[in-house]
C-alpha cells in the first residue's frame, strides 16, 4: 500500500520516474572536498530516493548511475565509482528485499568489471520474485548505444528470416530495447541545473515530463522529490492531442 504524506495528498504519483543524478563533483568541490566525497554522499541520496519512491507507490525508478561516456573520466574516479557500486550492491540487498523491490539494470553490462557483474547478477537474481517497485540502474548506459544494439538485433532477425522488414513498427523497436515491456518514464528529473538529456533514454522520453533543478544530487532528498512530483502532478499531459472542450 502506498504511504502518501500530507504534502502530496491528492497528487498524481508518476508510474515511472527516471533520474539523471548530476552534480556530485560540483557539490563536493563547494564543500572543499574531492569529487569522490560527492559520489559517496550521492549514494546516500540513491538510498533515500529509492526508499521514498517505493513508499509513494512509484512502479519503476530508473537511475542514471554510470553513462557510457563516464568511462572517459580519470581512471581513479572510475575505479572509485566501481568500488562504490559494488559496495552498494552488497549493502542494499537487505533494504531491497525488505521493501519488496525488484532490482534490474540496463546498459552494456558486459563492460563492467567482473566483480561488479557478479554482485549485480546476485542482486538481480535474489530480488527476481519481488512484486513491488522495479529499481533499474543504468550502467555503462548510452541511449544511442541502446538504439544501435536494438537495430542490430532486429537486423539479425530479418537476416534469419524470422522478421519481415515491412512489419517493423514502434513496438518492434521498443521490444528490442534493454528493458522491453517497461512503461516509458512519466517524469524525468535532472539535478545539478544543466538543461540537457545527456544520451539518456532518448527513445523512451518522447512524451516524458521534464523537471530540472539546480539542487545537486547529494542534496536531492525526500522533500525535493516531493516538489518534483507536485509540479508533475499539476501538468496537463496531452500527448500531442487537445482536450475535448477545446
Ligand atoms: C554525476 O555527478 C553522477 C555520476 C557520474 C554518477 C552517479 C553516481 C552516484 C549517484 C553515486 C553512486 C551510485 C550508486 C548507485 C551507488 P558528476 O560527477 O557528473 O557531478 P558534476 O557534474 O558536478 O561533475
pLDDT tens digits for range 79-97: 999 999 999 999 999 999 9
Which is the catalytic residue, given 24, 70, 75, 149?
Answer: 70
Taking alpha carbons only, the member of 226, 192, 184, 190 closest to residue 49 is 226
Residue-wise pLDDT for 173-220, tens only, equals 999 999 999 999 999 999 999 999 999 999 999 999 999 999 999 999
Check whether 236 has a pLDDT greater than 90: no
Beta carbon of 107 within 6 Å of any ligand 1 atom:
no
Q: What percentage of the chain exceeds 70 in pLDDT?
A: 98
For residue 175, tell me if it sits in a domain: yes
Its domain, for residue 70, covers 22-232
Check whether 244 has a pLDDT greater than 80: no
> What is the position in ligand 1's atom list of the atom closest to the CA of 85?
16
How far is residue 61's CA from residue 185's CA, in Å, rounded to a whole number?
Answer: 9
For residue 243, tell me if it sits in a domain: no
Check whether 240 has a pLDDT greater than 90: no
Helix axes 114-127, 75-91, angle to 10 degrees: 30
CA of 170 relative to ligand 1 center, distance in Å: 32
For residue 178, tell me if it sits in a domain: yes
Helix axes 222-233, 35-56, angle to 10 degrees: 50
Residue count of the chain? 246
Number of compact structural domains in the chain: 1
> What is the position in ligand 1's atom list of the atom closest to the CA of 65?
7
For the question of residue 130 being annotated catalytic, the response is: no
For residue 190, tell me if it sits in a domain: yes
Beta carbon of 21 within 6 Å of any ligand 1 atom:
yes
How far is residue 167's CA from residue 29's CA, in Å, rounded to a whole number?
Answer: 52
Residue-wise pLDDT for 23-55, tens only, equals 999 999 999 999 999 999 999 999 999 999 999
How far is residue 97's CA from residue 214's CA, in Å, rounded to a whole number?
Answer: 33
For residue 2, tell me if it sits in a domain: no
Write down the pLDDT at residue 2: 83
> What is the position in ligand 1's atom list of the atom closest to the CA of 89?
16
How far is residue 188's CA from residue 62's CA, in Å, rounded to a whole number?
Answer: 9
Residue nearest ligand 1's atom 10 by CA: 42
Q: How many Cα atoms within 13 Å fall on the side-chain side of residue 216?
A: 17
Q: How many Cα atoms within 13 Å fall on the side-chain side of residue 222?
A: 11
Q: Residue 238: pLDDT band by 50, 70, 90 thresholds?
A: confident
How far is residue 244's CA from residue 147's CA, in Å, rounded to a whole number?
Answer: 35
Residue nearest ligand 1's atom 12 by CA: 43
CATH number of domain containing 37? 3.40.1180.10
For residue 151, tell me if it sits in a domain: yes
Averaged pLDDT of the chain: 96
Check whether 246 has a pLDDT greater than 70: no
Contact 13, 4 (CB under 8 A): yes
Beta carbon of 84 within 6 Å of any ligand 1 atom:
yes
Beta carbon of 52 within 6 Å of any ligand 1 atom:
no
Write down the pLDDT at residue 223: 97
CA of 207 relative to ligand 1 center, distance in Å: 25
For residue 167, tell me if it sits in a domain: yes
For residue 12, tell me if it sits in a domain: no
For the question of residue 231 being annotated catalytic, the response is: no
Amino acid at each position: 500500500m502506498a504511504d502518501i504524506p500530507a504534502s502530496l495528498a491528492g497528487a498524481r504519483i508518476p508510474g515511472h520516474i527516471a533520474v539523471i543524478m548530476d552534480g556530485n563533483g560540483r557539490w563536493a568541490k563547494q564543500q572543499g572536498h574531492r569529487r569522490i566525497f560527492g559520489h559517496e554522499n550521492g549514494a546516500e541520496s540513491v538510498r533515500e530516493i529509492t526508499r521514498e519512491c517505493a513508499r509513494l507507490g512509484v512502479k519503476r525508478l530508473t537511475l542514471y548511475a554510470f553513462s557510457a561516456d563516464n568511462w572517459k573520466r580519470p581512471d581513479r574516479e572510475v575505479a572509485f565509482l566501481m568500488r562504490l557500486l559494488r559496495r552498494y550492491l552488497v549493502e542494499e540487498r537487505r533494504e531491497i528485499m525488505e521493501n519488496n523491490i525488484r532490482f534490474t539494470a540496463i546498459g552494456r553490462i558486459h563492460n563492467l568489471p567482473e566483480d561488479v557483474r557478479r554482485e549485480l547478477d546476485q542482486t538481480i537474481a535474489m530480488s527476481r520474485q519481488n512484486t513491488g517497485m522495479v529499481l533499474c540502474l543504468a550502467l555503462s548506459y548510452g541511449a544511442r548505444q541502446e538504439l544501435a544494439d536494438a537495430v542490430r538485433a532486429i537486423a539479425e532477425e530479418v537476416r534469419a528470416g524470422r522478421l519481415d522488414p515491412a512489419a517493423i513498427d514502434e513496438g518492434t523497436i521498443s521490444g528490442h530495447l534493454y528493458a522491453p515491456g517497461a512503461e516509458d518514464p512519466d517524469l524525468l528529473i535532472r539535478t545539478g541545473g544543466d538543461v540537457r538529456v545527456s544520451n539518456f533514454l532518448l527513445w523512451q522520453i518522447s512524451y516524458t515530463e521534464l523537471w530540472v533543478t539546480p539542487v545537486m544530487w547529494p542534496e536531492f532528498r525526500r522533500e525535493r522529490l516531493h516538489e518534483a512530483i507536485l509540479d508533475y502532478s499539476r501538468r496537463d499531459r496531452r500527448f500531442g492531442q487537445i482536450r475535448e472542450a477545446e
